[in-house]
Amino acid sequence: MKKIVFLTGAGMSVESGFKTFRGNDGLWENYPVEKVASHEGWEKDPTLVTNFYNMLRRKLWDTKTNDGHKLIKKKKKEYDVTVITQNVDNLHEKAGSSKVIHLHGDLTKVCSSINPYNSKYIQQLTPEHSHITPETKAGDGSLLRPFIVFFGESVPMIEPAAEETQKADIFVIIGTSLNVYPAAGLIQYCSPEVPIYIIDPSPIKTDNYHNIKHIEMGASDGMKELMKELKLLKFLK
């Protein structure tokens, strides 16, 4: 079975009405991003940050998946599918995707503030039990914090994402530009012969890359077009 790897960004979630931070005004849900999505913001006011992510989580539980999410899941019938996402929502999992790598963390989890990636202290939240009271402690005695990679922090999951990208027979980028690092660097791990598709309604410079097809559409319409492209690819082979 051939392997297809999807790299998804903000444009994937926007169609479902769930905002991720991607603005030029420095705001996320009307909050300055440095106050709610930076390590300095967390250190300065953990109560504000905790309550901000409580609010985002409430919105997420009510958010529905879109056709783009569903079509990615559908490809599991024909391909070994891995999703690498820059988004902190769980919409890929909601749609039924099982192999999902979250580069920037997962809004549905909380963790230790001194050892975020220690699985012993990571807690999975549910719609019924998702409110975190400020000052709540993790199992190691530190404050529970959102399982989110704040701006300025390292991205530990980039290595497993690169390993998956190296195995790809087809690589698809949805809703993110080739300017957002470190994720944009993943394209360098594709084998030279691997076909690459970019689904994004905005113009994207692809001059420095070969073997790339740009589908200038949103996530859902772009995935429908990709389905046709993949059928054609199979036919030609």
pLDDT digits (tens, 9 = 90+) for 23-82: 554 557 678 888 999 999 999 999 999 999 999 999 999 999 999 999 999 999 999 999
Q: Which of 104, 131, 210, 214 is catalytic?
A: 104
Closest CA to 170 of 211, 202, 208: 211
Which tens digits make up the pLDDT trace of 108-154?
A: 999 999 999 999 999 999 999 999 999 999 999 999 999 999 988 99
104 is catalytic: yes
CATH class of 20-62+107-148: alpha beta
Going by pLDDT thresholds of 50, 70 and 90, the confidence category of residue 231 is confident
For the chain, the domains span 1-18+65-104+154-237, 20-62+107-148
Q: What is the pLDDT of residues 156-202, one digit of tens each?
A: 999 999 999 999 999 999 998 777 776 678 999 999 999 999 999 98
Supply 126's token pair.
């549910």
Cis peptide before 182 (omega within 30 of 0): yes
CATH topology of 1-18+65-104+154-237 equal to that of 20-62+107-148?
no
The domain defined by 1-18+65-104+154-237 carries CATH number 3.20.20.220: no
